[in-house]
Chains A and B, each alone.
Chain A
Amino acid sequence: MRKVSLPLWLLAGFLYVFMYAPIVVVIVFSFNAAKHGGPWTGFTTEWYAKLLDSPDKLKATENTAILAFASTILATVLGTMLGYGLSRYWFPGKKLFSLMMYIPVVIPDIVMAVAMLSFYALVRDWLGLFELGMTTMIIAHITFQIPFVAIVVRSRLAGMDPAIEEAAHDLGASSWQTFWNVTFPLMLPGVLAGAMLAFTLSLDDFVVSFFTTGPGATTLPILIYSSVKRGITPDINALSTLIVLASVIGTIGVTLLQRPAKHSGG
């Protein structure tokens, strides 16, 4: 019925080129032999080899991985419980609370970042807790991940037929049995999708990490930012290429994972 006209093809093509130009240029320049960036002088894989004997880059990779895994695991547990609780049980003031839970999703991340920074500073002055570093960064990431996990889990639960759980009850299963044998397996794809989302948000985050980190707890985005501020170097392009590669694999993986499911919820 609808046909794609030639001008639309060209426009769409141009927009894809526009979206991919920065990604492609980073990949291409990571193989550029020129020492200080600049025009193309020849092909090399030297910068990738250099990454391996750069302790600060390896340390940043390690920190990023610890941060992403630790925060995602905790946020997935908390966010799943929240999503389940909000979709199933009532409590006074629930409407207001569920709206407030969405605040981390909607406010600009810099506002969230400085609020957390001030909070950590205050607690540190009074109690001596929360020296800025990995712990404060993990807490901050969990805080903005929880609502995203909850949203995905809730939308998965909303698409479920209540009759299935009713049937389990009618057949004599306890609430606990119903949850673990019926509800949980059905909501699992939503939980996994929520976890993937949380993980990616953590990997991508720069602003919140930048404000809540401390000495020795540099992550890859922070490392890239501070390097780029001093001038783009080829090894940063190599590092970025590897990160881009990870995102591409991740995106395609999730797309393929979600395909068989009819209601993937995300």
Chain B
Amino acid sequence: MKSSRPGEVRFGEQLSARGQLYRSATTSGPSIVWVTIFLLLPLVGIGVISFLSRGESGGYELPFTFTNYTRFAGWGFFGYDILYPQIILRSIVLGTGTAALCTLAALPLAFFIAALPGRYKNLALTLVLIPFWTNLLIRTYAWQILLAPESPITWVATKLHLIAADAPLYPSEFAIYIGMVCDYLPFLVLPLYSSVEKIDWSIAEAASDLGADGKRVFWHAILPQVMPGLVAGVILVLIPAMGQFVIPDLLGGAKTVMLGNAIQQQFGPSRDWPFGSAIAFLGMAVVLVSLWFYARYAGEKGGDIL
């Protein structure tokens, strides 16, 4: 997808550097200006706000300070408080846990769909697309009904002694995981499936002919071939899962605060924008730096970034 350099003939016309610049300005220009004004500058903005102090009645004011970051790391007004480091850890565990569970579920599902004959394949794929396009909020709150004390699921879990007789399935950390995996599973299945479709099965057969057992064939001849789809899918799950605030909010009750909820709280009820900005800015920095490393990895492997 390389565009032509100045003087190079491509797409049938020769353009000078100025011509290229002019065409760029009239095509890409408006969007670049739009996204810069309405997103890139605001992102820099919360970076600046994160170093300011909280205003008298919300908002933000001078002087510059590092307290928002030190507070996030745990040093608050009343000495060291484990609250925020705990929230960070919990969000990382939730994000990676969701991605891991989704991977475990998506692998068999992607292979299943790929192995179906043509017509059923399209049907099975459409059946993954429908939840993918269905509002996440609706699919999340429905678990409140499914995990309610009077629901059959709770009844079965109690009868099987998986939970104590009066222990609720919701709100709980368990409910958050259920909601997360259910919501994000399609995000992993779709890119993974497109990789599974492209598998060269003769490599697996060769490995098997050369005496590798099923496990080794999977690890060494199949898994490396689906890696691009798997990595893309994991990224698609990991980033939104770590920043989620709706699912923990609706299924976890008030006790299980994640990074997303913490940001929401600071910009909402607590009205401490500088602190909220610090959490958001740090979160964004982590995402962008990790993606930069991923882009380099994908670049080395000769793949496209997006």
Contacts and interface: CB of A to CB of B under 8 A. Distances in A.
Interface stretch (B63-71, B82-90, B130-138): B130-138
B108 interface: yes
B74 interface: no
Nearest to A117: B267
A247 interface: yes
B21 interface: yes
B42 A88 contact: no
Given A2-B201, A90-B5, A247-B130, A143 B23 contact: no
Contact of A105 (B27, B124, B267, B306): B306
Interface string B267-293: 100000100110011011001100100
Contact of A15 (B23, B105, B136): B105
Given A18-B182, A25-B145, A103-B43, A150 B23 contact: no
A90 B1 CA distance: 12
A114 to B, nearest CB: 5
Interface string B122-160: 101011111111111111111111101010000000000
Given A15-B185, A81-B30, A108 B242 contact: yes
A27 to B, nearest CB: 9
Size range of the chain A interface in the assembly? 35 or more
Contacts of B276: 114
Contact of A89 (B23, B34, B239): B23
Contact of B28 (A86, A106, A122): A86
Nearest to B48: A118
A114 B46 contact: yes
A143 B20 contact: no
A26 B38 contact: no
Contact of B13 (A112, A169, A203): A169
Contacts of A119: 38, 41-42, 45
Size range of the chain B interface in the assembly? 35 or more
A26 B138 contact: yes
A8 B291 contact: no
A229 B4 CA distance: 54
Given A85-B24, A89-B15, A162-B12, A39 B150 contact: yes
B239 A106 contact: yes
A257 interface: no
B39 interface: yes
A81 B33 CA distance: 13
A188 to B, nearest CB: 17
Contact of A204 (B6, B39, B136, B250): B136
A36 to B, nearest CB: 12
Given A19-B185, A108-B240, A166-B11, A243 B112 contact: no
A85 B17 CA distance: 14
Contacts, number: 287
Interface in B195-225: 201
Nearest to A200: B133
Contact of A78 (B1, B34, B114): B34
Given A166-B11, A211-B267, A232-B141, A23 B136 contact: no
A142 B38 CA distance: 10
A227 to B, nearest CB: 9
Interface string A70-96: 000000001101101111111110100
Nearest to A28: B145
A101 B287 contact: no
A90 B3 contact: yes
Nearest to A154: B1
Interface string B35-71: 1101111110110010000000001000000000000
Interface of B: 1, 3-6, 10-13, 15, 17, 20-21, 23-32, 34-36, 38-43, 45-46, 49, 59, 105, 108-109, 111-116, 122, 124, 126-146, 148, 150, 181-182, 185-186, 201, 239-240, 242-246, 250, 260, 263-264, 267, 273, 276-277, 280-281, 283-284, 287-288, 291, 305-306
7 tightest A-B contacts by CB?
A108-B243, A85-B27, A169-B12, A22-B142, A85-B28, A119-B42, A166-B12
Given A23-B134, A90-B17, A112-B43, 17 more contacts: A11-B108, A18-B181, A19-B185, A23-B142, A25-B145, A78-B34, A86-B3, A88-B27, A89-B28, A91-B25, A92-B21, A102-B305, A106-B288, A111-B284, A114-B46, A115-B43, A118-B273
5 contacts: A19-B186, A22-B140, A97-B32, A118-B49, A247-B134
